[in-house]
Structure 1
């Protein structure tokens, strides 16, 4: 497994199989665009077959705050420590930031607590008609 902090050498063809439980998933081109537009990204690449198998993104002002909107590992690669490695690498990238926030489902709270994250209240607004991204 190779981990990268950039999308150099990553094509949309390498981004198949993500967002499996989304009713309106973004396509591979939109996925590549969201990776490109993120402040930070860490990508896990299986060199054989040269496919992205996991990624984490952060959006940040680079001073005080960062938000981690996405962490995904392909189903066939789950429970191999890839998600843990992606989070650890991202938290290292963001170590000089005051607040690092993310939202997660209740069943994932205990997972993120292992990274010294604390449960808190949050508010969200979702425009599901825009879930696939695009223009």
Structure 2
């Protein structure tokens, strides 16, 4: 397993299999674009660096705050500590900031609490007609 905090060598064809269960998932091209436009990113690659197995992103003002919108690990690689390592690495990148927030389903609260995050309230708005993004 190789972890990297940049997108060097990452192409859209290495991003298949993510966004499982989404009714209208982003294309791999859109997925690569969201990775590129994130303030911070960590990807987990297989040993021969031909497939992304997991990723995490953050959006930050670089001064006080950041938001983690995505943590995903391919289903066949879940339960192997990849997600935990991705969270640890991005939190290390963001450790100089006052606050790092993320939203998650109630079922995931224990997972994130185990990683040192605190449960809080949050609000969100979803525009489901744009779920796949604006790129094709």
- Which residue of structure 1 aligns with residue 45 of structure 2? 45
Number of equivalences: 135
Match status 1:27 vs 2:24: no
- Which residue of structure 1 aligns with residue 73 of structure 2? 73
Partner Cα separation in structure 2 for residue 9 and residue 134 of structure 1 = 24
Partner Cα separation in structure 1 for residue 40 and residue 70 of structure 2 = 11
Describe the superposition over 1:40-80 as per-residue Cα deviations: whole angstroms up to 9, x where unpaired: 00000003461000000000000100000000000010111
Describe the superposition over 1:54-108 as per-residue Cα deviations: whole angstroms up to 9, x where unpaired: 0000000001000000000000101110000000000000000100000000000
Q: Is the 8 A contact 2:2 2:46 kept in 1?
A: yes
Q: Secondary structure at the match of 2:71?
A: strand
Partner Cα separation in structure 2 for residue 88 and residue 116 of structure 1 = 10
- Which residue of structure 2 aligns with residue 2 of structure 1? 2
Aligned CA RMSD, in angstroms, stands at: 0.9
- Which residue of structure 1 aligns with residue 15 of structure 2? 15
Partner Cα separation in structure 2 for residue 49 and residue 110 of structure 1 = 31
Match status 1:115 vs 2:118: no
Where structure 2 has 5 or more consecutive residues not aligned to the other structure, the ranges are none
Q: Is the 8 A contact 2:2 2:49 kept in 1?
A: no
Give the 4+ runs in structure 1 shifted more than 6 A: none
TM-score (norm. length: structure 1): 0.97
- Which residue of structure 1 aligns with residue 100 of structure 2? 100
Partner Cα separation in structure 1 for residue 62 and residue 22 of structure 2 = 30
Partner Cα separation in structure 1 for residue 78 and residue 71 of structure 2 = 12
Partner Cα separation in structure 1 for residue 21 and residue 56 of structure 2 = 17
